[in-house]
């Protein structure tokens, strides 16, 4: 069975519940993906310019002072979805 690639501090998740093609990320993971994309581009200024984003707003998202926007998710090739969390079951401790 396929598992998604681990991000730092996040255990692998089996994809059987979502389908083999689907990966899910929380907002913190999206910011990690954004940070990696900015680093590949070379700078926040370069990334913002290439994608038509406001550099100040981009910086605030990267610093955790603003929430990830739909424009950012689209820029990263992502979309927002809602997933049922454990179908109401309590997690074992």
What's the confidence (pLDDT) of residue 80? 85
All structural domains of the chain with their residue ranges: 27-78
| pTM listed for this prediction | 0.68
The three-class DSSP label of residue 80 is coil
Q: How far, in Å, CA of 71 to CA of 77, rounded? A: 10
38: closest CA among 24, 12, 58, 13? 58
CA distances from 62 to 14, 29, 30, 48 (A): 28, 11, 10, 12
Q: How far, in Å, CA of 64 to CA of 50, rounded? A: 22
Instruction: Profile the chain (93 residues) by mean pLDDT over runs of 10 residues.
Output: 51 53 86 97 97 97 96 93 68 50
What's the confidence (pLDDT) of residue 13? 53
CATH class name, domain 27-78: mainly alpha
């Amino acid at each position: 069975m396929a598992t998604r690639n681990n991000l730092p501090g996040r255990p692998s998740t089996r994809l059987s519940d979502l389908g083999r093609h689907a990966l899910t990320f929380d907002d913190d993971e999206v910011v990690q993906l954004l940070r990696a994309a900015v680093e590949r581009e070379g700078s926040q200024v370069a990334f913002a310019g290439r994608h038509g984003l406001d550099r100040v707003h981009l910086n605030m998202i990267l610093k955790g002072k603003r929430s990830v926007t739909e424009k950012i998710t689209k820029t990263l090739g992502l979309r927002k979805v809602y997933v049922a969390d454990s179908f109401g079951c309590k997690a074992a401790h």
